[in-house]
Structure 1
Amino acid sequence: MHDHRHDLSTHRLLSCREAANFLGLKESTLATWKSTKRQYLPVVEVGRLARYRMSDLLDYINNRMQGSNFPQD
């Protein structure tokens, strides 16, 4: 049987603050990544608000763990 709660939690949209806290970064670092495209992290635009999908954050972490070190603030 498939657990749909897992699907909902991974597709949840997080605010910039929530995403930064989850990644262990400052909000300003996340904003810099978004504006300069220094790091690829998909952003969902909801009006003028930037939101981050939990599944994208998890993918980002998994990809960084397989390659080089996680970027520092």
Structure 2
Amino acid sequence: MHPPSTSASSTDLWTPEQAALNLGVSIRTLAAWRSTGRHALPYVKMGRLVRYRPQDIAAWLQALLQAKPTAPAATGDEP
């Protein structure tokens, strides 16, 4: 998986192929996500064309981040 470029302007749009490559998924997976609504990955629809904004993908990935559970603090009371 490639992280989205942070230098992308607000007018940059990725094709499904570019988005799939950067997310490490197939184009068919993106199409399935769009049709089923399984993941709320934002996209732009212009007629029959589908495009993705890199900043939307970055924000979507950020929202998916899970915090690692922290280990309980050692109290020294255990053997």
Q: Quick check: which one's strand share is greater?
A: 1
Identity of aligned residues (%): 38
Tell me what 2:50 maps to.
50
Separation in structure 2 between the aligned mates of residue 7 and residue 21 of structure 1, nearest angstrom: 16
RMSD: 2.0
Q: Deviations over 1:2-42 (max 9, x none)?
A: xxxx461x541100010011111111100000000000011
Larger Rg: 2
Query: TM-score scaled to structure 2, two decimals?
Result: 0.69
Q: Provide the rounded CA distance (Å) in 2 between the counterparts of 1:61 and 1:42.
A: 11
* Larger relative helix fraction: 1
5+ residue gaps, structure 1: 1-5, 68-73
Separation of aligned partners in 2, 1:38 and 1:62: 17
Do residues 34 (structure 1) and 40 (structure 2) align? no
Give TM-score scaled by structure 1 length. Answer: 0.74
Runs of 4+ in 1 over 4 A off after TM superposition: none
